[in-house]
């Protein structure tokens, strides 16, 4: 089984879709729209006109543009901070009872999470289009908008800065106003930002359990496991603090809900790996990276695969310590940090803080082979690479000291040259270290 640190996937620059060809009728309607918008521009907000042409008659409806959506989002965010369910649901389309019920659950989950801040910003008003033949578009005569919203939230007692997440809601025009009618979830379509649908409040009803260093979000139906899981998580934090004492808050938001779709949101591009992954640590940013090239990592979140929560305590404890190591090192992990070092350090901390039989390294080493350290692109192709990476970091800690192993990790926050890093931090070349590591593998296998 894998425990994974997910680097943020790069996204190609967005290009607007080419405008559709218009018929003569479409052109005439467009000219009418433009004329009305021009006449109404003095109102300070673009207006949308929908014209329906039937048997000898024409109808028109007006709703506000971006400004009206911005005001709606502000009302929705304020309702969460004020714990006002009626205000939160006031802008929800009531025509779909199941969607309304889902919004009620989201409200309850958000309130349970205990937020110190929550804002909704209209970030991509025109990037995501609704097909003209989509049911919502047909039902509302084309008066539909699918937009990109940045959700910024901070959990009280945990986050010192907000976490920025993408949300892709769909609004419909009804009675001269916008109403929330749908929201994208995992697997809904391609081209959405990473992690859409994976927020803890987007699950079924949740229970939130707090301890000194952990806030755990668990499905209400599984609430009985919460005390034990939090105890193991606290022990995991203690394990990591023994080795990485500074550079992180020592606190973690842990999502362990039974809704598989929440976990799947982070693996939409590689569903074949889902069954092999126990948990994932996800770097979170101050902006949505697909929408802002200047986004900076500010914290990390840990999300468990619900299929793994029934495993024994020993394996679960190892996974928790492994993932919390990723969290502790998240602010210094960069694209330049070798994947073997990222995962090897997490394995090293987990094994260094638990009982490991003397024969275990030899048993593991005898089942793996290598001529070089695992490469970034192929690291997650085999669980054997975790063993190889662990033994590489274990060798560094044994030969140069644990502080040097951490210093090498920190080096890659601001540097990219691997050989220079080994020279400056360890006083040896990367090639020489690789040869020493291969010899170490042989020695361990023979032990």
Q: Is 289 exposed, middle or buried (0-12, 13-18, 19+ CB in 10 A)?
A: buried
Q: Of 24-28, 49-53, 215-219, which range is least confident?
A: 24-28
- Asked whether residue 258 is assigned to any structural domain, the reply reads no
- Rounded Cα distance between 429 and 139, Å, is 66
- CATH assignment at residue 406: 1.10.390
Q: Kindly state the average pLDDT of the residues 325-354.
A: 97
Q: Residues 6 or more apart from 379 whose CB is under 8 A from it?
A: 339, 340, 343, 385, 389
Among the listed residues 169, 168, 147, the one whose alpha carbon sits nearest the alpha carbon of residue 65: 147
pLDDT digits (tens, 9 = 90+) for 226-276: 999 999 999 999 999 999 999 999 999 999 999 888 988 888 666 666 667
- Asked whether residue 167 is assigned to any structural domain, the reply reads yes
The pLDDT assigned to 266 comes to 85
Pair of tokens at residue 274: 């889902």
Kind of pairing between the strands at 144-155 and 163-167: antiparallel
CB 166 within 8 A of CB 128: no
Q: How confident is the model at residue 23 (pLDDT cuts 50, 70, 90)?
A: very low
Which single residue is written with the structure tokens 């360890």? 426
The pLDDT assigned to 308 comes to 75
Are both 177 and 30 inside the same structural domain?
yes
Q: Which of 150, 181, 202 is the last residue of a domain?
A: 202
- CATH assignment at residue 101: 3.10.450.100
- Asked whether residue 51 is assigned to any structural domain, the reply reads no
Q: Count how many domains the chain has.
A: 2
Q: Which of 202, 227, 248 is the last residue of a domain?
A: 202
Q: Of 24-33, 170-179, 270-279, 428-437, which range is least confident?
A: 24-33
- Rounded Cα distance between 256 and 200, Å, is 9
Percent of the chain clearing pLDDT 70 (strictly above): 83
Count how many residues are written for the chain: 447
- Hey, is 37 helix, strand or coil? helix
Residue 42 pLDDT greater than 90, yes or no: no
Residue 411 pLDDT greater than 70, yes or no: yes
In the chain, what is the straight-line distance between the N-terminal and C-terminal CA atoms, in Å? 25
Residue 399 pLDDT greater than 80, yes or no: yes
Residue 110 pLDDT greater than 80, yes or no: yes
Pair of tokens at residue 172: 């419909």
**Segments in 173-276 forming alpha helices (H):** 226-243, 260-264
Q: How confident is the model at residue 26 (pLDDT cuts 50, 70, 90)?
A: very low
The pLDDT assigned to 261 comes to 87
Instruction: Tell me the sheet residues that pair with 215.
Output: 210, 253
Mean residue pLDDT of the chain comes to 87
Phi, psi of 143 (to 5 degrees): -85, 75
Residue 51 pLDDT greater than 60, yes or no: no
Are both 197 and 340 inside the same structural domain?
no
Are both 36 and 177 inside the same structural domain?
yes
Q: Which domain holds residue 445?
A: 334-447
More confident residue, 425 or 7: 425
Q: Kindly state the helix (H) or strand (E) to which residue 51 belongs, with its residue range.
A: strand 47-53
- Asked whether residue 160 is assigned to any structural domain, the reply reads yes
Residue 178 pLDDT greater than 90, yes or no: yes
The pLDDT assigned to 390 comes to 98
- Asked whether residue 103 is assigned to any structural domain, the reply reads yes
Q: Which of 176, 202, 228 is the last residue of a domain?
A: 202
CB 295 within 8 A of CB 305: no
The pLDDT assigned to 6 comes to 61
The pLDDT assigned to 30 comes to 35
Q: Residues 6 or more apart from 173 whose CB is under 8 A from it?
A: 48, 50, 61, 63, 140, 143, 144, 179
Q: Residues 6 or more apart from 202 whose CB is under 8 A from it?
A: 106, 109, 185, 259, 262
Percent of the chain clearing pLDDT 90 (strictly above): 74
pLDDT digits (tens, 9 = 90+) for 286-310: 999 999 999 999 999 999 988 777 7
Q: Kindly state the average pLDDT of the residues 9-16.
A: 36
Are both 184 and 35 inside the same structural domain?
yes
- Asked whether residue 294 is assigned to any structural domain, the reply reads no
CB 2 within 8 A of CB 322: no
- Asked whether residue 232 is assigned to any structural domain, the reply reads no
Q: Kindly state the average pLDDT of the residues 123-140.
A: 94
Among the listed residues 162, 177, 165, 154, the one whose alpha carbon sits nearest the alpha carbon of residue 67: 177
The pLDDT assigned to 311 comes to 74
- Rounded Cα distance between 399 and 402, Å, is 9
- Asked whether residue 143 is assigned to any structural domain, the reply reads yes
More confident residue, 306 or 103: 103
| CA dihedral over 248, 249, 251, 255, signed as positive or negative | negative
CB 111 within 8 A of CB 83: yes
The pLDDT assigned to 45 comes to 53
> What is the DSSP code (8-state) at residue 422?
I
- Rounded Cα distance between 433 and 409, Å, is 15
The pLDDT assigned to 65 comes to 87
The pLDDT assigned to 58 comes to 41
Residue 386 pLDDT greater than 50, yes or no: yes
pLDDT digits (tens, 9 = 90+) for 180-229: 999 998 755 578 999 999 999 999 999 999 999 999 999 999 999 999 99
């Amino acid at each position: 089984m894998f425990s994974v640190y997910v680097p943020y996937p790069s996204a190609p620059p967005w290009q607007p879709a080419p405008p559709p060809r218009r018929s003569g009728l479409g052109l005439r309607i467009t000219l009418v729209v433009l004329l009305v918008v021009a006449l109404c521009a003095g109102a300070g907000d673009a207006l949308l006109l929908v014209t329906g042409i039937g048997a000898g008659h024409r109808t028109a409806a007006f709703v506000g543009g971006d400004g009206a959506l911005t005001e709606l989002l502000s009302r929705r965010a304020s309702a969460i901070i004020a714990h006002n369910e009626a205000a939160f649901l006031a802008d929800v389309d009531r025509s779909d009872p199941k969607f309304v019920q889902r919004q009620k659950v989201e409200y309850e989950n958000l309130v349970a999470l205990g937020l110190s801040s929550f804002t909704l910003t209209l970030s991509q008003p025109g990037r995501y289009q609704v097909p003209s033949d989509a049911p919502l578009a047909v039902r509302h005569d084309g008066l539909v908008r699918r937009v990109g919203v940045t959700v910024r939230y901070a959990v009280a007692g945990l986050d010192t800065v907000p976490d920025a997440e993408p949300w892709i809601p769909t609004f419909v025009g009804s009675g001269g106003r916008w109403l929330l009618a749908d929201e994208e979830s995992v697997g809904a379509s391609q081209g959405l930002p990473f992690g859409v649908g994976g927020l803890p409040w987007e699950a079924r009803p949740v229970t939130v359990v707090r301890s000194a260093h952990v806030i755990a979000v668990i499905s209400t139906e599984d609430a009985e496991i919460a005390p034990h899981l939090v105890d193991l998580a606290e022990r995991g934090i203690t394990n990591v603090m023994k080795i990485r004492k500074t550079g992180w808050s020592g606190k973690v938001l842990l999502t362990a809900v039974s809704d598989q779709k929440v976990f799947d949101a982070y693996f939409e591009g590689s569903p074949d790996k889902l069954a092999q992954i126990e948990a994932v640590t996800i770097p979170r940013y101050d902006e949505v990276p697909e929408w802002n090239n200047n986004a900076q990592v500010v914290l990390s979140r840990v999300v468990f695969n619900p299929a793994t929560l029934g495993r024994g305590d020993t394996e679960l404890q190892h996974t928790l310590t492994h993932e919390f190591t990723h969290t502790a090192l998240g602010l210094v992990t960069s694209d330049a940090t070798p994947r073997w070092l990222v995962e090897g350090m997490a394995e090293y901390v987990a094994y260094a803080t638990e009982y490991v039989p003397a024969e275990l390294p030899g048993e593991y080493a005898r089942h793996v082979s290598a001529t070089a350290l695992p490469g970034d692109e192929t690291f997650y192709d085999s669980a054997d690479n975790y063993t190889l990476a662990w033994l590489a970091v274990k060798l560094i800690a044994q030969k140069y000291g644990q502080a040097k192993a951490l210093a090498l990790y920190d080096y890659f926050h601001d540097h990219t040259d691997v050989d220079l890093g080994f020279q400056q931090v360890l006083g040896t070349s990367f090639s020489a270290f690789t040869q020493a590591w291969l010899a170490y593998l042989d020695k361990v296998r023979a032990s």
